[in-house]
């Protein structure tokens, strides 16, 4: 019994909408959605519970949402506020235990195995604090592993019967009852079962997770290979993955020291371009977005300045980072001034969100990629041995 873990999964209910209601309490009880505009192929990022009654769902095209709910109020979104509220929640959770794995802006796992209080007491305490001190509704799932805890949260939300206000659910799956809890649920409730696998399973007359457990493991392996084995394990509620507590980068930066001092504006801007592209690539690889862009310039006399700017929306888009860095550069640099080093950095990092805001710049990005590539190889040919330095400040 000693080795049984106690995992809490916490998920804020309609998080963006809850923050919007703090900003503007008159939104309470009204159908509204945060997202892009319906005539610009916008998508619903989050919708209030009253909007859900009309069938509005997140990730749905806004045009469709407006058809379902003609009185739907559309809010463009205040990302900075979401990010701040998220930090407050995560900071609070880290006060409870250092065993916290944040999995998105509004979701986290806590491993509370080593804490003296019961899981239920902890969940009630956490929910009460987040409700009353941070004014945010949240639901919590409790189980012996991450897989089942997360499904327990979703189950709690749905079975709460609250459709016009946030569910604020707490659902506990006692150890040993994982398979029983999962059995009646549809297979798509399992992590990793997308529409394709779901169709595949339905063709084999497998609809519920319980159906899945009736298929011998060997047959699952024959049908789906390695994935079949994993699926078999998950269907039985088995999941040994520990929390991932890797230290998150707080900032990402890169700088270039020129082999000779540079006065040529075009070369300086090409350098910013190249660094922005590499930073963007690193952000995308880590599924992160940044809100603050900064630039560092060193003059031939070794004096160094930095300038930074916090944007309205988080981004990992190379062109947005580039444009902000170039803007900062132009404010700090006078024509003809020699530069010894240029650095670009980003901070205010948070997990990537549905990309509602950068849709158009992504299109522009594709177009400019060719131009950019040739600019980069040109500058490489010209200056050869740049000294490149990557920087990453770690949270510790
Ligand atoms: Mg949520």
pTM of the model: 0.66
Low-confidence ranges of the chain (pLDDT < 50): 1, 355-364, 366-367, 370, 373-374, 376-377, 381, 383-389, 394-396
The reply to whether 21 and 162 lie within a common domain is: yes
| CA-closest candidate to residue 341, choices 295, 378, 377 | 295
Distance (Å) from CA 258 to ligand 1 centroid = 47
Distance (Å) from CA 353 to ligand 1 centroid = 12
User: How many angstroms separate the CA atoms of 37 and 360, rounded?
Assistant: 13
The reply to whether 228 and 114 lie within a common domain is: no
User: How many angstroms separate the CA atoms of 317 and 284, rounded?
Assistant: 9
Distance (Å) from CA 66 to ligand 1 centroid = 22
The reply to whether 261 and 305 lie within a common domain is: yes
Distance (Å) from CA 34 to ligand 1 centroid = 13
> What would the pLDDT profile of 283-342 be if each residue is shown by its tens digit?
888 878 898 999 999 999 888 899 999 877 888 999 999 999 999 999 999 999 999 999
Q: Quick one: pLDDT at residue 207?
A: 94
The reply to whether 167 and 192 lie within a common domain is: no
The reply to whether 56 and 125 lie within a common domain is: yes
**Catalytic residue positions?**
107
pLDDT cut 70: percent of the chain above it: 87
CATH code assigned at 379: 3.30.1490.100
The reply to whether 231 and 285 lie within a common domain is: no
CATH code assigned at 195: 1.10.150.20
Q: Cα–Cα distances in Å, from 165 out to 13, 31, 52, 70, 179?
A: 9, 11, 10, 20, 30
Distance (Å) from CA 151 to ligand 1 centroid = 13
Distance (Å) from CA 105 to ligand 1 centroid = 8
The reply to whether 255 and 318 lie within a common domain is: yes
> Residue 131: exposed, middle, or buried by beta-carbon count in 10 A (0-12, 13-18, 19+)?
middle
Distance (Å) from CA 10 to ligand 1 centroid = 8
The reply to whether 264 and 217 lie within a common domain is: no
Kindly state the tokens that stand for 189: 């409730």
Q: Cα–Cα distances in Å, from 13 out to 30, 74, 124, 275, 382?
A: 16, 18, 15, 38, 54
Domain assignment of residue 10, given as a range: 1-172
Considering the chain, what is the average pLDDT of its residues?
87
Q: Quick one: pLDDT at residue 369?
A: 53
- Print burial letters for 226-257: b (CB count within 10 Å at least 16), e (below 16): eebebbbebbbbebeeebeeeeebebbbbbbe
Q: Cα–Cα distances in Å, from 314 out to 110, 204, 257, 358, 393?
A: 26, 44, 28, 9, 19
- Tally of domains within the chain: 3
CATH code assigned at 98: 3.30.70.270
Q: What angle do CA 85, 91, 93 make, to 5 degrees?
A: 105
| CA-closest candidate to residue 15, choices 126, 105, 123 | 105
């Amino acid at each position: 019994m000693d080795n049984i873990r106690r995992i809490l999964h916490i998920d804020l209910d309609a998080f963006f909408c809850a923050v919007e209601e703090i900003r503007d309490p008159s939104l309470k009880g009204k159908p509204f959605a945060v997202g892009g505009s319906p005539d610009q192929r916008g998508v619903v990022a989050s919708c209030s519970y009253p909007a859900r009654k009309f069938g509005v769902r997140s990730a749905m095209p806004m045009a469709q949402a407006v058809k379902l709910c003609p009185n739907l109020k559309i809010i463009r979104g205040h990302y900075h506020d979401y990010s701040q509220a998220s930090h407050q929640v995560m900071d609070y959770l880290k006060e409870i235990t250092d065993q916290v794995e944040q999995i998105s802006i509004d979701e986290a796992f806590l491993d509370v195995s080593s804490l003296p209080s019961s899981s239920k007491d902890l969940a009630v305490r956490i929910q009460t604090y987040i409700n009353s001190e941070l004014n945010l509704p949240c639901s919590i799932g409790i189980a012996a592993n991450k897989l089942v805890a997360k499904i327990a949260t979703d189950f709690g939300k749905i079975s709460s019967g609250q459709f016009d206000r946030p569910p604020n659910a707490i659902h506990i799956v006692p150890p040993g009852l994982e398979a029983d809890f999962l059995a009646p649920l549809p297979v798509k409730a399992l992590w990793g079962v997308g529409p394709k696998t779901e169709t595949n399973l339905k063709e084999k007359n497998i609809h519920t997770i319980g159906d899945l457990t009736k298929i011998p493991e060997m047959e699952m392996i024959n049908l789906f290979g390695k994935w079949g084995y994993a699926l078999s394990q998950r269907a039985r509620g088995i999941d040994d993955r520990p929390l991932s507590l890797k230290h998150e980068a707080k900032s990402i930066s890169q700088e270039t020291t020129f082999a000779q001092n540079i006065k040529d504006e075009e070369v300086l801007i090409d350098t910013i371009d190249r660094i922005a592209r590499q930073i963007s690539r690193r952000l995308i690889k880590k599924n992160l977005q940044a809100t603050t862009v900064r630039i560092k310039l060193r003059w031939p006399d070794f004096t160094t300045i930095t300038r930074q700017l916090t944007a309205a929306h988080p981004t990992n888009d190379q062109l947005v980072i580039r444009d902000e860095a170039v803007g900062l550069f132009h404010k700090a640099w006078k024509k003809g001034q020699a530069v010894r080093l240029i650095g670009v950095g980003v901070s205010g990092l948070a997990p990537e969100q549905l990309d509602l805001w950068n849709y158009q710049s992504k299109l522009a990005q594709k177009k400019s990629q060719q131009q950019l590539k040739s600019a980069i190889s040109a500058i490489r040919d010209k200056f050869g041995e740049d000294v490149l330095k990557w920087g990453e400040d770690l949270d510790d």
